[in-house]
Every structure is written in structure tokens, then in C-alpha cells.
Structure 1
Amino acid sequence: MKNVLVTGGAGFIGSHFVKRLLRADDIAKVTVLDALTYAGTVSNLGEAFLSPKLQFVHGNILDTALVDVLVAEHDAVVHFAAESHVDRSLVDAESFVTTNVMGTQRLLEAAKRHGVEKFVHVSTDEVYGPLVSGSATESDPLRPTVPYAASKASSDLMALSYFETYDVPVCVTRSSNNYGPCQYPEKIIPLFVTKLLRGEQVTLHGRGQHVRNWLHAEDNGQGIELVLRGGVPGEIYNIGGGTDLTSKELTGIILRLCGADWDSVTYIPDRQSNDIRYAMDWSKIADGLGYRPVRDLEDGLAETVEWYRRNPGHWAPLLRHRVGVPTGTKAALVTGA
């Protein structure tokens, strides 16, 4: 495959993946389709615009006509575009269903119509729901507990149904919690870092007992590229291998890196359906495709904090200015150098 369409490629994980793909000698063109809602910005792509291989299209995956035109021009689709923040899904579940389920279906329909070589649907470990012990495998049942996770589980099943029914060469990836530079400051790591750098208080839910696996976005990108190139159609691949931490343990590391102490932390009541623990078995992608995460958590977090320290011009405006692009917005095209 030489031409790859990446939806949501101006978002946090998507932009890391786009830069990775642009470095590949056998990729001729990477097209980013992004609606540039509040968490997506062209500045995430930054130096990627120096590449003549990059094409950027400002548009929405719900725009059927636009999606059809773009998919027809590409050999493969890597689908990141999604509403992704749990707290937002608790107050606006409808937008999560609309974007994550309906948007995915429209992309799949175009992929079916134009016969793409590979369709990689990017998902999350949250679809498995909470685990008190053990690790979820790809064959385990889905037990989402919040609207966000339910919308992703639904889109996973929609994607896999297009393989079973129409032979669309779909693969699904499910990763643990990602971190790294350029993440919008609403998830715990960028939120805490940006608050602490401004001398503000941070808040921990409950007693900070929730366990998450932390995976650098570059390691997730490695796994997704392996699935794009060698994943078996119809298969699901868990991408994990970072470090398991309670939210309190994670906060302790962030405080130290930001030069703050526990006086900066306030405990607040837990939110609705805050799953106590996520865990995945990622041996399938390791054994089958040779995936090996390489980023050390302490080093990765130190690098991430330093990026936020040095780049307030990137994230500070996001705290006050949000851009919403409604469905059907006319596409604007920008190409690389």
C-alpha cells in the first residue's frame, strides 16, 4: 500500500502516527482527514507539513460525499477519528454515538465500495470494562460501563461486521492509556502537568486507587503500523506493554517532575462508573507481529513534562479557545511542501 488515509490525524495519537508513517520510504502519500474539533489542531502535525507526502483535508467523517472521494484515492484507511473523553460522554452521549458509530460506518461503507487493501480501526482497552484481576484477551467479552466505551465497543463490532459480511479487510487495535507530547489538556497527564506548571491545584478521584496501563503514543503507533502492514483481516490486536500505575502513583511521579508536592493535590469524590482497573494481554501482537514497546515510563513522562514546559504557546490557547466544525462543513485542502 502506498497511499494511506488517516482520520483524526491532527489529534494526539493520530498526529504521532502520521509523522511515523511519513518516515516510511514505501509510503507515497498520507492524507489526514480531521474536523479540527477542540482536541485536534494542525499544530500537532507541525513539521509534518514540510513533507511533500502529506495532504491535509479539513472535514468530517460524517460527510458521506467527502469520505467517498477520499477513500477512493487511497489503498488503506487508519481510523483514529473519535470522541474520546469519558467525562464528556457522561453529559453528551449522543455526540459519541454519532461520531464513533455512525462515522465509522460511513467510512466502512466507502471502504467496501472502493475495495481498500486494509482498514485499521483504532480502539481502546476500555471496551473490556473493569477487571479486578487478570488481563483481557482479544476473545474476551466486551463489558463497557460508560457511554464513551460503549460507543467504541459498538464501532468495533460494526467494523468487524463489515469483514464478516462484506469481506472488508478490517483489523481492530485496542490500546491502553496513551501519553506523550501534544495531548489536549483534559486527560489526567496533560491536565495535571499544565495545571502544576501554572501553580494550580490538581484533583484526584476517590483515593487515587484506579489502575491504568500507561503506553507512550509512539509505542502505540509502532503497534498500529505493524497491524496496518501485517495484521490479519478480521483480527483484533491488543496493544499494551507500558506500566501499570494507580492514579496516585502516577500523580506522585508528575508532582516530582513538575517540582510540586502533595499540597497541590485535592481529593474529590469519585465520578460515575470510574472503572477500578483495566488490563490487557498483548501477547498476540508480540508473538504474531513482533511488537515490542520501547519507551520507559519515567523517561517518557520526563520528556512529556519538558515538552509542556517548553511549549505553552501550543497548549495554553487550547484552554480558552475551542473550535467546533459541524457536520457537512465544506472541506479545505492543505498539502505539504
Structure 2
Amino acid sequence: MPTAKPRVLVLGGTGFVGRHFVKYLVDKDLASKIRVADKQLPKTAYLSEEFLNIYENNPIVEFKQANLSNPTHIKKAFEDTTGPYQFVVNLAAETRYGQEEATYKQMIFDISINCAKEALNYLSSIEKYVEVSTAQVYDSGSKASKETDKIAPWTNQAKFKAQAEDELKKLSPELSQKLVILRPSIIYGPADLNGLTPRITCACTYTLTKDKMKFLWSGDLCINTVHVRDVARALWHVYMNTKSTGTLVYNLSDKNQTDQKKINEIFEQIFGIETGFFGTLLSQAAKLNMKSAAETANENHMNPWSEMIKQSGIKFTPLSPYIDKELLYNNSLSVDGSLIEKDTGFNYEHPKVTKDLIEEQIKYFKNLNLFPDFTKISK
């Protein structure tokens, strides 16, 4: 049985998912101690006041600065004179698109494997080790991918996530008995930088240009989603509700079967803009030189975004409407997230993307003065 109030080690714990997981543990009084190991300090991680207060003032939360691409720092992250950890979650990974393969190898594969190797020294105490991967490891297609479906990563991030998954399963029979791998679809919610936020910032620029926003391909291109609070809940849920019977793999994806059209309809409601799609013929033409097409599209968005940032008196923001060419191909992210419900009793509290949830995401950044003012276009 899991420890009633375990000591929890969160690797990569000041990131997007990490902050929500730490908050969930604190709000529900689930852990006796939470150590957060990350190279990024809480003060520089764009934490809202609510999150920052947890990291700086909650007595059970300890932040330990650690560059987890350095094995020496990994060792220090696990070492604790007050006792070992029962629950370890690895959220440390490069989440930006468009990086070099060498960067992904170091910041995804190497980190995952080296952290797990260090965990081998503590297996007598560790009850569950959770690795957060991505649903982009599946072959793209409109049919919803299940956990047993073909692995054919279509982003460089996913390529190294898939390699890390394979290696983790082979590291140690004892570790594999305690290993759970989660494969979320696009994670969105407050503090999201790389999920739906680039599309949100793109849409916002059209309140300035007044043009029609058109994406490549068609409205039924799947971009399945899961809310960050459901991801945080799932991390704890698999600790409490899975047995050690070998490596377990679960998708995380809501009930919305989110596609481009559903997201654009929400943007129309929030920003008052008109949206559409280029369709297959024009998109296929763009595909022949996707690098050039991506550069043109990003330039069309970056210029008005910069103007809006300037008008709002924002000196710097990590938010950008830039969308890497990897994400502009006709790759459908369709994910079946039901197995975790059937196997463990998990439920999605946010089963669909809504206008209110996207507005909450925008509000998070506006409160930090990172999202510009905009005027909704009146029809």
C-alpha cells in the first residue's frame, strides 16, 4: 500500500506541470515533504503570486536548484539527510520545439535515463516512479491512438521521449515494477507556454490587423488536449491506484476530441476575429517548402505581436505566436485517454476545452503583465 503521506521528489518541478502538481499536493495535504529540483529558480519561472507563495513559504516544500543534465546535480537532488522519497516524478525535459537533436538528446533522453539510474540507489524506499512522456510518440492519424498502438514519433521531442521510454523499461526489473509512463496530449491551462498558447497569441494579433486568421489544412485536424490540472491529478492518482505489476503506460487526453475548428471557434468568441483554413490543396503546396511557409506565417504574426507588446508597455514576455514548422505538417494528434479511467477509476474534471478555460489561461499571463491588452473585434 502507498505511504499515507509520502515524501515526494518532483524533478523539473518549477515548470508548467510541476507547479500545478506541487500546488495540488499542498492544497490536498497529500505529502509530508515535497522537494522540487529544477535549474530554474521559482522567482524567474513566471510563477503567479499564488504559486510563488507555495514555493517560498510552505514549510513542507523545499526547492533545490539543480541542473538535471548534470549527473552530480541529479545525485544531490536525490540525497536528503532527512530521509528518502517514496514517490518520484520526472517532469524535467526540453519542451520547446525547433531545437537541435543534440539538445533533445541531452535534455530529454539523458536526463530521463540519468535520473532513473540514480533512483536505482533508492529503490527500497521508492514506491512509484512516474515518467511524463508525450502522446506525440504515436503514429499520427485521425484514429485515436491507444497505449498499444504503433510508435512512430513525428516531432524531435517525441523521438527522444520514445527512446527514453524504451531504455527506462530495460534499466532494471525492480524499477520496471514501480514505473508508470504517462503520455499526455497537448497540455493547456494557466502557465502553458508551448501547448495552446502559441495559437492563442496568434489569434490575439488579429485583433490588431483585423485580418482573417487561417491555419493550414482543415478544421478536422486533431490537436487533442488535456488540462494541466487533470495531469496534476493523474500523477497523484497513479501513485495511489496502481499496483506494481510491471511498467504501466497510460495516455492522458480529455473527451473533447479537440481539433483546429473547435479551438478556432473559441478564439472567435474571445477575440471577435474571423477564422478559417487554407484547405488541403494550398496546404500541400506550402508543404513543398514548409520552412519558407513557416517563416512567412511567423513574420506575419510576430510583427503585430511586437507592436501590441510595445503598446501595452511590456518590456519582456516569454509568450510568442511563433509556431515551429514541425507543428505545421498534416499530423493529427488523436489520443484515446480512456484506459486510465477503466483501469484505475481516474476521471477528467475538465473533459473539454472551453472559452472560460482559455480565458483563465490568458488571465494568468495578464496578471503577470506578460500578455498585451487587446480589444475584441465587434461584429
TM-score, normalising length: structure 2:
0.72
Q: Which residue of the partner structure matches residue 221 of structure 1?
A: 232
> In the alignment, does 2:11 pair up with 1:7?
yes
Q: Which moved more, 1:308-317 or 1:61-70?
A: 308-317
Q: Which letter maps to 1:242?
A: K
Does structure 2 retain, via aligned residues, the 8 Å contact 1:35–1:60?
yes
State how far apart, in whole Å, the 1-side matches of 2:47 and 2:94 are.
19
Deviation, structure 1 residue 79: 0.7
Q: Which moved more, 1:231-240 or 1:189-198?
A: 189-198
Aligned length: 309
> In the alignment, does 2:328 pair up with 1:283?
no
Deviations 1:310-330 (CA, angstroms, capped at 9, x unpaired): 642536289xxxxxxxxxxxx
State how far apart, in whole Å, the 2-side matches of 1:228 and 1:200 are.
47
What secondary structure sits across from 1:31 in the alignment?
strand
Q: Which residue of the partner structure matches residue 114 of structure 1?
A: 122
In the TM superposition, 1:30-109 aligns within 5 A as 30-36=34-40, 41=45, 43=47, 45-49=51-55, 50-73=57-80, 74-85=85-96, 87-89=97-99, 92-109=100-117
Deviations 1:7-57 (CA, angstroms, capped at 9, x unpaired): 2221112211111112233411111112229xx815153332332111112
Does structure 1 retain, via aligned residues, the 8 Å contact 2:190–2:362?
yes
Cα distance change on mapping 1:163 and 1:259 into 2, 3 Å: farther
Cα distance change on mapping 1:284 and 1:106 into 2, 3 Å: same
Deviation, structure 1 residue 66: 2.2
> In the alignment, does 2:368 pair up with 1:314?
yes
Q: Which residue of the partner structure matches residue 154 of structure 1?
A: 163
Deviation, structure 1 residue 118: 1.5
Does structure 2 retain, via aligned residues, the 8 Å contact 1:210–1:277?
yes
State how far apart, in whole Å, the 2-side matches of 1:232 and 1:131 are.
32
RMSD of equivalent CA atoms: 3.0
State how far apart, in whole Å, the 2-side matches of 1:179 and 1:317 are.
16
Higher relative contact order (CA 8 A, sep 6+): 1
**Runs ≥4 in structure 1, deviation > 4 angstroms?**
165-168, 195-198, 200-203
Q: Which residue of the partner structure matches residue 138 of structure 1?
A: 147
TM-score, normalising length: structure 1:
0.80
Q: Which moved more, 1:57-66 or 1:276-285?
A: 276-285
Deviations 1:168-189 (CA, angstroms, capped at 9, x unpaired): 62111111111111112x43x2
Q: Which letter maps to 2:237?
A: L
- Structure with bigger gyration radius: 2
Counterpart selection for 2:358 from 304, 309, 317: 304
What secondary structure sits across from 2:73 in the alignment?
helix
Percent of aligned pairs with the same amino acid: 20
Deviation, structure 1 residue 232: 3.5
In the TM superposition, 1:167-182 aligns within 5 A as 167=176, 169-182=178-191
Cα distance change on mapping 1:207 and 1:100 into 2, 3 Å: same
Q: Which letter maps to 1:76?
A: F
Q: Which moved more, 1:231-240 or 1:285-294?
A: 231-240
In the TM superposition, 1:210-249 aligns within 5 A as 210-233=221-244, 234-249=247-262
Deviation, structure 1 residue 105: 0.9
Could you list the runs of 5+ residues in structure 1 that have no partner in the other structure? 319-337
Does structure 2 retain, via aligned residues, the 8 Å contact 1:129–1:275?
no
State how far apart, in whole Å, the 1-side matches of 2:358 and 2:58 are.
24
State how far apart, in whole Å, the 2-side matches of 1:169 and 1:154 are.
19
Does structure 1 retain, via aligned residues, the 8 Å contact 2:98–2:326?
no
Deviation, structure 1 residue 3: 1.2
